[in-house]
């Protein structure tokens, strides 16, 4: 089996050796600290080399993506052009949008964004939009999705703020309508979870809200993007389920996974702190190994706090978090049976 260095040799050697160069002013602050990078990432490089050929790749390189919310500070300050160039150089193949604006850089059209994606060999795999966007302007949202060439379009909002059984039943009906409209255009509509969806109904403490939504949305029209971190937070706060079991129940419904890592913290009411991938305690090898077939899903890295938190020995820099997380995700392999 080919090694990670074969797939993205420049990136891997640069990280393992800690020789990232900080160049033009537009990329100032985006490099990694040389000596610290060598000392921190060299063990990861050795581990990755040792695991080559040991088991199947859990997230194929062509399906490793990034939720742009993770590096929203870079999108706002540098713009899509520079961001896409950097992501392609890191090895990312796919992006998931969190809006179509680029802050300080100025206005940009969906057509111009698509050209930048194409120029850098990137694919748009999905987009998080608000429920109101779909309720008020569904066809325009689908137009943009088609322009960007994405197969999926969805929301990271909870289905509703009404946490009663009736509230979630009404939300399921609304989402079935969203899904039907997307399906008519050849797209898959999806909902991305946080932890609250796994709570129990306020009017029936025996009913988990996620189950109401799952069971009452049409699997042909409404798909799901599991944020693995938030699912484990949900398990911590509202025990009685295993996140992977939902995916195994109907793998077809989960074309996208958010690969967000968490470091166990008993002082946190959610049980975990968000950290860059590979620095946490979530059982990703076990979780992904339990899902049949490599390459069936898109693995999308996200770190909500990447612009403000860095691994020990590294400067605070969302590009740095993104680059190190890519290497860790790329190295995930299932143990041989």
Phi, psi of 204 (to 5 degrees): -155, 95
Do the beta carbons of residue 195 and residue 241 sit within 8 Å? no
Helix, strand, coil percentages for the chain (3-state, nearest 5): 50, 15, 35
Nearest CA-CA partner of 199 in 253, 247, 235, 155:
235
Q: Which two structure tokens, joined as six digits, stand for 304?
A: 């909500």
Phi, psi of 208 (to 5 degrees): -85, 130
Number of neighbours of residue 129 by Cβ within 10 angstroms: 21
CA distance 241 to 208: 10
Do the beta carbons of residue 262 and residue 229 sit within 8 Å? yes
CA distance 329 to 284: 9
pLDDT at 55: 78
Q: At what angle do helices 318-330 and 9-17 cross, to 10 degrees?
A: 110
Helix boundaries (H) for the chain: 4-7, 9-17, 34-51, 72-90, 110-119, 131-148, 165-184, 209-216, 228-237, 243-249, 284-289, 318-330
Give buried/exposed letters for 182-210 (b at 16+ CB in 10 A, else e). beeeebbbbbbbebbbbbbbeeeeeebbb
Q: C-alpha 225: how far from its chain's center?
A: 9
Do the beta carbons of residue 257 and residue 240 sit within 8 Å? no
**Alpha-carbon separation of residue 65 from 51, 68, 336 (angstroms):** 22, 9, 25
pTM, to two decimals:
0.85
pLDDT at 3: 34
pLDDT at 138: 98
- Please list the ranges in the chain whose pLDDT falls under 50: 1-53, 337
pLDDT at 294: 56
């Amino acid at each position: 089996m080919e090694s990670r260095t074969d797939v993205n040799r420049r990136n891997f050697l640069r990280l393992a050796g800690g020789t990232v160069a900080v160049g033009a002013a537009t990329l100032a602050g985006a490099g990694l600290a040389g000596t610290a990078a060598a000392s921190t990432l060299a063990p990861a490089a050795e581990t990755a080399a040792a695991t080559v050929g040991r088991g199947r790749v859990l997230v194929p390189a062509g399906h490793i993506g990034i939720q742009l919310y993770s590096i929203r500070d870079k999108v706002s300050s540098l713009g899509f052009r520079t961001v896409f160039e950097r992501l392609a150089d890191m090895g990312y193949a796919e992006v998931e949008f969190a809006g179509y604006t680029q802050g300080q850089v100025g206005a940009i059209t969906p057509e111009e964004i698509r050209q930048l994606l194409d120029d850098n060999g990137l694919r748009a795999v999905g987009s998080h939009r608000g429920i109101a966007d779909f309720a008020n302007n569904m066809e325009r949202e689908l137009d943009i999705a088609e322009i960007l060439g994405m197969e999926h379009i969805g929301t990271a909002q909870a289905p509703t703020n009404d946490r009663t059984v009736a509230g979630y039943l009404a939300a399921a009906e609304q989402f079935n309508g969203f899904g039907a409209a997307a399906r008519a255009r050849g797209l898959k509509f999806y909902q991305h979870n946080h932890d609250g969806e796994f709570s129990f109904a306020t009017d029936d403490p025996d009913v988990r809200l996620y189950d109401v939504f799952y069971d009452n949305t049409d699997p042909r029209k409404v798909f799901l993007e599991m944020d693995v971190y938030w699912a484990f937070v949900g398990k911590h706060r509202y025990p009685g389920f295993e996140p992977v079991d939902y995916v195994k129940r109907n793998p077809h419904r989960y074309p996208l996974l958010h690969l967000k890592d968490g470091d166990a913290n008993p002082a946190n009411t959610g049980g975990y702190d968000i950290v860059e991938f590979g620095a946490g305690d979530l059982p990703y090898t076990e979780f992904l190994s339990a899902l049949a077939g490599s390459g069936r899903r898109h693995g999308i890295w996200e770190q909500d706090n990447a612009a403000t938190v860095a691994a020990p020995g590294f400067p605070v820099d969302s590009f740095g978090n993104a680059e190190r997380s890519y290497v860790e995700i790329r190295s995930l392999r299932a143990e041989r049976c």
